[in-house]
Amino acid sequence: MTNDVAFELAVSSIRFGPGVTREVGMDLEDLGARHILVVTDPVLSGLRPVHTVLESLGTSGLSAVLYDRVRVEPTEESFLDAIGFAREGRYDAFVAVGGGSTIDTAKAVNLYTTHPPADFLAYVNRPIGQGLPVPGPLKPLIAIPTTAGTGSETTGVSIFDLSRLHAKTGIASRWLKPTLGLLDPDNTRTMPPQVAASTGLDILSHAVESYTARPFSERPRPDRPGLRPAYQGSNPISDIWSLQALRMVARFLVRAVDDPSDDEARAQMLLASCYAGIGFGNAGVHLPHGMSYPVSGNVKTYRAPGYTTDHPLVPHGVSVILNAPSVFRFTSSASPDRHLQAAAALGADVSGARAEDAGKILADRITWFMQRLKTPNGLREIGYSASDIPALVEGTLPQHRVTKLSPRPAGAEELATLFEAAMTAW
């Protein structure tokens, strides 16, 4: 086997600035689109960001239809509902207005209406799906995030819950990347503090995971450039974006949660989300995200404060961050310098730190953010116990797309130990 010697930067075009949402109609007009499907969720459909989009499309003389049934933390059923709706119209472009759930749903709609497969799982990552490559370009998709966390406006990844497995999985292809991401700080004004905290912690983990991921040079070299995975492993370009995202989180996350009227903090967190998206969208994430998928998928009765849903919900950022301290204590021995550098970017004092202390220093710094933002104190607080660990492990093992990027391999025994350590955070 020959290891790879190349890495690739793939990212959506990004435009940042207050009020840029109003430009979406002109952008789509310039792209030659005429019949647009606007994708959003039931709460946002009545709020200003969606109204602004519809007004902009109308001003540009474009036909627009609103689909507002996106499910927060989407499932294959909610994806199929949106895909079925879109197939009834002849749309030549899409606009996603919302958080990661909405943008990921719009990516799936674009893919499955442009290149319909015989089986829904055809494009889904192996070993859960067939992992077939996306055949080619999709239609224009403009992503307008209203939360600062997922970075989905920059990436070619679409995540959903596969109900029968009680775990998340997804589709990864550079063709899925939005054509343009419009980052408008005005759109995050209505974000509840609990949502700002969860999504901000997702940024934090995105950046640490991509910075500590197994290096790209340890991955097999593909037979063709097009077979190089979207998640390549840590690399010099992703490193820059990931570390800067951590510095921004250290400076602005608490401010943005404490005071939604802090325009600077909200704008900087929206940028931090994008920066982390560029980082992990090309390097990948690893165990905290892999372990988060069954935590979200097996939720029993927990309903997160600040989220308006009709179903039990562990927000994605919470499901990720609850696993992070135990993971980074475990992985630090593989790359102590990188773990210390991540901790320093988050504001930890690493002067005189020993390599063997790297995991504890990083975990303690992450735990400080969790406590300060009133995150649940471990998996136990959201309804899990030791008896759930086998199911959590079973839901993590198939997540090869991310688990294989862990700098330290983790099989079933190691995962069980990590979940046990994550039951209580402090």
Kindly give, in sequence order, each residue whose CB lies less than 8 Å from that of residue 334, ignoring residues fewer than 6 positions away. 407, 408
Q: How confident is the model at residue 51 (pLDDT cuts 50, 70, 90)?
A: very high
* 0.85 surpassed by pTM: yes
pLDDT given at position 310:
80
Mean pLDDT of 143-156: 96
SS3 sequence of the chain: CCECCCCCCCCCEEEECCCHHHHHHHHHHHCCCCEEEEECCCCHHHCHHHHHHHHHHHHCCCEEEEECCCCCCCEHHHHHHHHHHHHCCCCCEEEEEECHHHHHHHHHHHHHHHCCCCCHHHCCCCCCCCCCCCCCCCCCEEEEECCCCCCCCCCCEEEEEEHHHCEEEEEECHHHCCCEEEECHHHHCCCCHHHHHHHHHHHHHHHHHHHHCCEHHHCECCCCHHHCCCCCCECHHHHHHHHHHHHHHHHHHHHHHHCCCCHHHHHHHHHHHHHHHHHHHHHCCCHHHHHHHHHHHCCCCCECCCCCCCCCECCHHHHHHCCHHHHHHHHHHHCHHHHHHHHHHCCCCCCCCCHHHHHHHHHHHHHHHHHHCCCCCCHHHHCCCHHHHHHHHHHHCCCHHHHCCCCCCCCHHHHHHHHHHHCCCC
* Residue 167 confidence (pLDDT) above 80: no
In terms of C-beta density within 10 A (0-12 exposed, 13-18 middle, 19 or more buried), how is residue 382 classed? Answer: buried
pLDDT band at 49 (very low <50, low <70, confident <90, very high): very high
pLDDT at 56: 98
Q: Pick the residue with more confidence: 34 or 401?
A: 34
Strand 167-172 to 157-162 pairing: antiparallel
pLDDT at 163: 86
CA triple 96-110-17, angle to 5 deg: 30
**CATH architecture for segment(s) 193-422:** Up-down Bundle (1.20)
Lowest-confidence region among 127-141, 163-177, 281-295: 163-177
What would the pLDDT profile of 29-39 be if each residue is shown by its tens digit? 999 999 999 99
pLDDT digits (tens, 9 = 90+) for 3-33: 999 999 999 999 999 999 999 999 999 999 9
- Identify the pLDDT of residue 190: 84
Q: Using one digit for the tens of pLDDT, what is the confidence trace for 352-400?
A: 999 999 999 999 999 999 999 999 999 999 999 999 999 999 999 999 9
> Cβ of 227: how many Cβ atoms within 10 Å?
10
When pLDDT is averaged across residues 224-242 and rounded to a whole number, the result is 94
Sorting pLDDT into bands at 50, 70 and 90, what band is 168? confident
Confirm if 23 and 15 have CB atoms less than 8 A apart.
yes
What residue ranges do the domains of the chain occupy?
19-183, 193-422
Average pLDDT, the chain: 96
Indicate the pLDDT class of residue 1, thresholds 50, 70 and 90: confident
Range 265-290 average pLDDT: 98
Count Cβ atoms below 10 Å from residue 31 Cβ, excluding itself.
Answer: 15
Instruction: Record the tokens describing residue 135, joined without a space.
Output: 């055949």
Q: What is the pLDDT, as a whole number, of residue 281?
A: 96
- State how far Cα 255 lies from the chain centre: 22
Q: What is the share, in percent, of the chain residues with pLDDT greater than 70?
A: 100
Q: Identify the pLDDT of residue 308.
A: 80
Confidence at 61, pLDDT banded by 50, 70, 90: very high
Residue 274 — very low, low, confident or very high, per pLDDT cuts 50/70/90? very high
19-183: CATH number: 3.40.50.1970
Between CA 85 and CA 87 the distance in angstroms is 6
172 pairs with which residues across the strands?
A: 157
pLDDT tens per residue across span 316-337: 999 999 999 999 999 999 999 9
Q: Is the pLDDT of residue 200 over 80?
A: yes
- d(CA 66, CA 196) in angstroms, rounded, equals 26
Strands 13-16 and 63-67: unpaired
